[in-house]
Every structure is written in C-alpha cells, then in structure tokens.
Amino acid sequence: MADDLFKALADGTRRTILDELTEKSGQTLFEICARLSMKHGLGISRQAVSQHLAVLEAAGLVETRREGRYKFHDLNVAPLRHITERWLDPHTPTPEKDPS
C-alpha cells in the first residue's frame, strides 16, 4: 500500500509525468509521450510511458477513464497528502507493517 506509493515516486520519469498531469489533467497516453519528448527531451517509447502509468495507477496516483478509443489519465493527489506524517509528527507515529 504505502510501499506501492513510495516505489511509484522513486522514478524520476514518473515524477515528471505527475508534473505534466498536474499542469493538465486528463491527458491521453500519446499526449503524455509527446510532452515528455518535447518539453523534457525524454527519448522514451510509448510502452515505457504506458508501464509508468500502470505503476502510478497501482499506487492510486493516477485514475483513468475510457472514452471510445481514448483513455484519459487523471491525477489523484490524495495518497500524497499524509505520506510524511509518521516522521513529521512524532506524537502520533504510524509505523508501517514490516516490509514483505
């Protein structure tokens, strides 16, 4: 749960994708590919981006909706809100389950 979230954030390309979705939510896979290539000079294949989006979706950071042949990707920042609380607020520690 928390593991998926931190693992998703561990990759720089995925964080850049979150940046792009922050700037404009509801983008398609191809739109994200184009932006990564144009704005960030990332020479990355469509499948690689697709796999990154799957990781972000598994972490709950991205939600998708299908419309015809398009699939739109929306950002969900809710999981990000309290991920650092367990260390920033020493009064109410929320120890994680031992890593499995």
Partner DNA sequence: ACTATAGGCAAGTGCTTACTTGCCTATCAA
Partner DNA sequence: TTGATAGGCAAGTAAGCACTTGCCTATAGT
The single residue among 10, 58, 77, 83 that binds DNA, judged by CB under 7 A, is 10
What string marks each residue from 41 to 80 as x (binds DNA by CB under 7 A) or -? --xxxxxx-xxx--x------------xxxx---------
Contact assessment for residue 17 and residue 56, using Cβ atoms and an 8 Å cutoff: yes
Q: Say what angle helices 29-40 and 46-58 make with each other, to 10 degrees.
A: 110
**Residue 21, beta-bridge partner list:** none
- Work out how close the CB of 65 gets to its own copies at its nearest, in angstroms, rounded to a whole number: 20
Q: Which is nearer to DNA, 28 or 76 (CB)?
A: 28
Distance (Å, rounded) from C-alpha 26 to C-alpha 28? 7
Q: Does 26 bind its own copies (CB under 8 A)?
A: no
How many residues sit close enough to its own copies to count as binding (CB under 8 A)? 34
